């Protein structure tokens, strides 16, 4: 089982939140600092079940530093169908919406694009989370436009650029 959590931090608190996440023995390969509406994306791989996710990760993360709350909002994305595993650091994540009946078609079409590292279908506010690679913002822009034109049934996209952790 696999899941994601997005974290929106209080102004200026993202570095403290990152430090706390790393103290929880999360791999730096699974924690992403983002530029966009969400500050941090955490990927949880190899989960046994939903209870493990809730007890080991969700509850402790939402309670980080109770004396000084640093997280304003979380969103959880539970993976329905995993895309390819990726080791390369993504340039960005795309959060996509589609009609439920088109999930598999969208996932399959995305994974046929070489710059798409992975495309997971998820339960949550989005339908697909997609890790992509690009050399720069211009190439990312061209990729997003190509995805929007080439992949049928996409109803909306949100792009989050990955920043260096430290």
CA distance 164 to 45: 21
Q: Are residues 49 and 95 in the same domain?
A: no
Report the distance separating Cα 46 and Cα 134, nearest Å.
27
Structure tokens at 79: 């993976």
Residues 6+ away with beta carbon under 8 Å from 52: 1
Using alpha carbons only, how large is the chain's radius of gyration in Å?
Answer: 16
Q: Is the dihedral of CA 97, 30, 104, 117 positive or negative?
A: positive
Q: Which of 78, 102, 129 is the last residue of a domain?
A: 78
Is 122:110 a contact under the CB 8 Å cutoff?
A: no
Q: Are residues 37 and 103 in the same domain?
A: no
Per-residue confidence in pLDDT tens, the chain, 166 aa:
999 999 999 999 999 999 999 999 999 999 999 998 899 999 999 999 999 999 999 999 998 877 888 999 999 999 999 999 998 999 999 999 999 999 999 999 999 999 999 999 999 999 999 999 999 999 999 999 999 999 999 999 999 999 988 6
Q: How far is the C-alpha of 128 from the C-alpha of 140, rounded, in Å?
A: 18
Same domain, 9 and 68: yes
The pLDDT of residue 66 is: 73
Same-domain check for residues 64 and 89: no
Q: What is the CATH number of the domain that holds 43?
A: 3.30.70.920
Whether residues 66 and 106 share a domain: the answer is no
Check whether residue 28 and residue 92 sit in a common domain: no
Please say which residue of 78, 98, 132 terminates a domain: 78
Pair 63, 106 in one domain: no
Statement to judge: residues 31 and 62 lie in one domain: yes
- The domain total for the chain is 2
Residues 149 and 96 in one domain: yes
Could you tell me if 59 and 98 lie in one domain?
Answer: no
Q: Which residues span the domain enclosing 39?
A: 2-78
Among candidate residues 18, 30, 11, the one with its CA nearest the CA of residue 118: 30
- Among residues 57, 78, 99, the one where a domain terminates is 78
Question: 127 with 86: CB under 8 angstroms?
Answer: no
What pLDDT is recorded for position 166?
62
């Amino acid at each position: 089982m696999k899941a994601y959590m997005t974290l929106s931090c209080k102004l200026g608190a993202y570095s403290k939140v990152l430090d706390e996440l790393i103290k929880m023995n999360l791999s730096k390969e699974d924690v992403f600092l983002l530029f966009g509406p969400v500050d941090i994306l955490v990927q949880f791989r190899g989960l046994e079940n939903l209870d493990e996710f809730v007890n080991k990760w969700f509850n402790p993360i939402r309670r980080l530093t109770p004396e000084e709350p640093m997280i304003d909002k979380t969103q959880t994305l539970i993976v329905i169908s995993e895309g390819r595993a990726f080791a390369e650091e993504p340039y960005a994540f795309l959060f996509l919406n589609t009609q439920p009946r088109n999930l598999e078609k969208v996932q399959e079409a995305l994974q046929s694009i070489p710059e798409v590292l992975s495309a997971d279908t998820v339960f949550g506010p989005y339908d697909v989370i997609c890790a992509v690679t690009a050399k720069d913002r211009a190439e990312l822009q061209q990729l997003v436009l190509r995805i929007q034109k080439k992949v049928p049934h996409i109803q909306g996209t949100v792009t989050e650029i990955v920043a260096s952790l430290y």
